[in-house]
Every structure is written in C-alpha cells, then in structure tokens.
C-alpha cells in the first residue's frame, strides 16, 4: 500500500510532521510574545527578529527532511544561501540598514516614547517605534514616519526632560537705550513663568537692534504654549512701558508723527472659564504621543513593581522571623494586586493607542 502508484508515501511523514510542528510552534511563539507584552518595552523588535529567524530555520529543517538525494538538498540549501547573501547585499543600504539602525537606536536609548525631538527641520513628539521606522507627531497633529537609518545618520536633537530653553527675537530702534529694553524683556520672561531668564543683543543692524530673550521652560509638555505666552508677555511689557514696536522705515513713511501705535490696554476678568474652554493645545496636537508616553510609563512601572516583588521573595526566603515574613508577604500581595491593576490599565491604554493614526509601538 505504501508503494501505491510507485511512490513511497511514508517518506512524506517527516516533511508533513515538520510543517505541523512548525505551525504549532509558531502559534506558541506568538502567544508567548502576547503574554510578555506587558513586561518588555522592546517586545515588537524582539518579535519581528524572532519570527525572521524562526521561519528561516523552519525552511532549512523542511529541506533537510525532504525525501530527496543529499546532493540535491545541498544544492537547494546552497541556493538559499546565495539568495540570502544577494538579498542582504542588495538591501543592506535600506532594509537591513534600517533594522541595524533600529537596534542601535534602542541600545543607545537617546530618546523614548513621548520625547520631543527635532531632525532635519522636522519637529515633533515620538509616538511610535518599530524595527524599521520611528513615528513622530508634529505641530499639526499629523504623523511623520521616519526610517531608522535616517535617524541614525542625521543629528537628532532631543528636548531635555527637565526643561529646555525657549526664546524669541524682537528688533527695536536705536532711539531706545538697551539698558531700558533688557530689564523689560527679563520681566516679560518672568511673567511667562520662565526660569533664569537672560537677554542677548543678537545683531546691530543699520536700522535696528535685534534683542533675543531666553528662559528655561521646565514643563516641556506645554512647549508650544510657553513660546506663545512669551511673545504675548514681551508685547505687553514693552507696550506698558511706552516702547513702540514699529520698524523705523514704517515710521519714516507715515504722516501721523504725533500718533503712537500702541494698543490701549483693556481690562479683562481673570476667570478659569477661558482656560477650561481652550485647554492646552498640546493635549490635542500631541494626543497620540501623549498616549504612547503613558503606555511606556505604565510598562516601566510594571517592570519596577515586578522587580520589587522578586526582591521581596528573596527577603522572605532569607528571613528567619515569621512575623517579618508575614508582613512582607502581605506587602508583596498588595504589590501583586497593583501589578494586575496596571496590566488591565495597560491593555486599555494600548487599545486606545492602536486606534490612533497608522501604527503602534
């Protein structure tokens, strides 16, 4: 029966068994990564690399168990090696280059999810990181996909997490002493809630002096709002001091020499209604980046709590005092309950993140 139609069908047992075992092994591998997703922030990178290696090994094993001559097996494996070598050689500048750049960026850890970065004039918050690309959310709330090789071969500016210096320029005529202007600009920076303000005289033009006021913004999540607030405070400070902000060429062309172009101050009620209606624009502009940062923070919090649980287990094992063991066990159980709560929270956060834009971390 096994020689039906002149072919030994029992020789197909191992090839078929290899495919079946490989299929179930692949499913177990995917379940493993699904279960470990809450414990490892680099799970996407590891999953993609592991899948590539697994499929390559499965193909080689399948060829080895085929009921064909050894010489033919060697030729097929040699052909696969040639194809892989040619593919690597042809795609090393792009595909493989991006993979290597992605691994390098993860190992360097110069930025993470939620950080503000700028590269080649593109500014935004990191909203996603993958094996081949990094995703930014820009000022217009749009998503920019950057190849990892591009980030690895170009200077990347990362905003300091403790704060960054913001500034604004203004040009004024030579008729106003710089000793008058500099304190006004410093006062404007302080009203804009910037720390350690200072002023530079940037340029001496033929018709005006260019001043640049700087200050430390400690909350980088409101970076755009802080810049706008600084500009508004500069206007208010100079106008209230009677300093006219107009170009000298404009002054020479107008016919109303006695009229100054300073808007009249209007009294406004300081209520929280306007703030509650408008809110912070960054929460709308960088919504996906905010969610991605929250997911990353939750994962890190879970990792720290799991390390605490392991340390408690060692303490319980080494301790000889039964009362102390009971206290540590009770504290350990509370920590485990907190981990489970965070895991449930993480699932909700990841679901919301996956609904945003085009990708996930």
Lowest mean pLDDT among 6-15, 153-162, 281-290: 281-290
Mean pLDDT of 173-193: 88
The residue count for the chain: 361
Burial class (CB in 10 A: 0-12, 13-18, 19+), 83: exposed
What is the structure's pLDDT at 185? 92
Predicted TM-score of the model (pTM): 0.50
pLDDT confidence tier of residue 8, bands split at 50, 70 and 90 = low
Q: What is the pLDDT of residue 358?
A: 45
d(CA 149, CA 97): 6
Residue 262, pLDDT score: 66
Query: Do the domains 164-269 and 112-158 match in fold?
Result: no
Please say whether the beta carbons of 195 and 218 come within 8 A.
Answer: yes
**Domain spans of the chain?**
4-91, 112-158, 164-269
Q: Do 147 and 131 form a contact (C-beta atoms < 8 A)?
A: no
What phi and psi, each to the nearest 5 degrees, are found at residue 187? Answer: -65, -40
Mean pLDDT score of the chain, rounded to an integer? 78
**What's the pLDDT at 271?**
46
pLDDT-derived band at 79, boundaries 50, 70, 90: confident
CATH among 3.30.470.30, 2.30.30.60, 1.10.40.30, 3.40.50.920 for 112-158: 2.30.30.60
* CATH fold for the domain made of 164-269: Alpha-Beta Plaits (3.30.70)
Counting DSSP H helices and E strands in the chain, the numbers are 12, 8
Q: Do 90 and 121 contact (CB within 8 A), yes or no?
A: no
pLDDT at 276 over 60: no
Q: 268 pLDDT band (50/70/90 cuts)?
A: low
Q: Hey, what are 321's tokens?
A: 């005092």
């Amino acid at each position: 029966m096994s020689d039906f139609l002149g072919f030994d069908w029992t020789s197909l047992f191992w090839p078929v068994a290899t495919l079946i075992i490989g299929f179930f092994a692949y499913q177990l591998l995917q379940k493993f990564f699904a279960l470990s997703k809450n414990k490892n922030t680099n799970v996407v990178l590891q999953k993609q690399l592991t899948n590539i290696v697994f499929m390559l090994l499965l193909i080689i094993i399948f060829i080895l168990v085929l009921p064909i001559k050894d010489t033919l097996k060697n030729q097929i494996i040699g052909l696969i090696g040639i194809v892989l070598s040619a593919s690597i050689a042809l795609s090393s500048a792009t595909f493989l280059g991006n993979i290597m750049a992605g691994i390098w960026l993860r190992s360097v850890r110069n930025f993470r999810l939620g950080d503000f970065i700028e590269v080649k004039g593109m500014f935004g918050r990191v909203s996603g990181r993958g094996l081949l690309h990094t995703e930014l959310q820009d000022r217009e709330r749009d998503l920019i996909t950057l190849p990892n090789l591009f980030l690895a071969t170009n200077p990347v500016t990362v905003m300091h997490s403790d704060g960054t210096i913001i500034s604004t320029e203004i040009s004024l005529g030579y008729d106003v002493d710089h000793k008058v202007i500099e304190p006004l600009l410093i006062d404007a920076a302080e009203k804009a809630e910037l720390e350690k303000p200072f002023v530079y005289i940037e340029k001496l033009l033929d018709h005006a002096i260019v001043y640049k006021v700087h200050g430390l913004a400690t909350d980088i999540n409101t970076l755009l709002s802080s810049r706008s607030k600084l500009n508004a405070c500069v206007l208010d400070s100079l106008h209230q001091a009677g300093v006219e902000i107009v170009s000298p060429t404009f002054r020479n062309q107008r016919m109303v020499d006695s009229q100054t172009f300073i808007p009249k101050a209007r009294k406004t009620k300081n209520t929280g209604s306007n703030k509650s209606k408008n809110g912070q624009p960054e929460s709308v502009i960088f919504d996906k980046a905010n969610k991605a940062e929250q997911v990353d923070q939750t994962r890190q919090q879970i990792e720290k709590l799991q390390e605490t649980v392991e340390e408690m287990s060692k303490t319980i094992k080494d301790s000889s005092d039964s009362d102390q063991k009971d206290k540590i066990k009770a504290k350990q159980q509370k920590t485990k309950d907190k981990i489970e709560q965070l895991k449930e929270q993480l699932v909700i956060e990841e679901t919301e993140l996956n609904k945003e834009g085009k990708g996930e971390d």
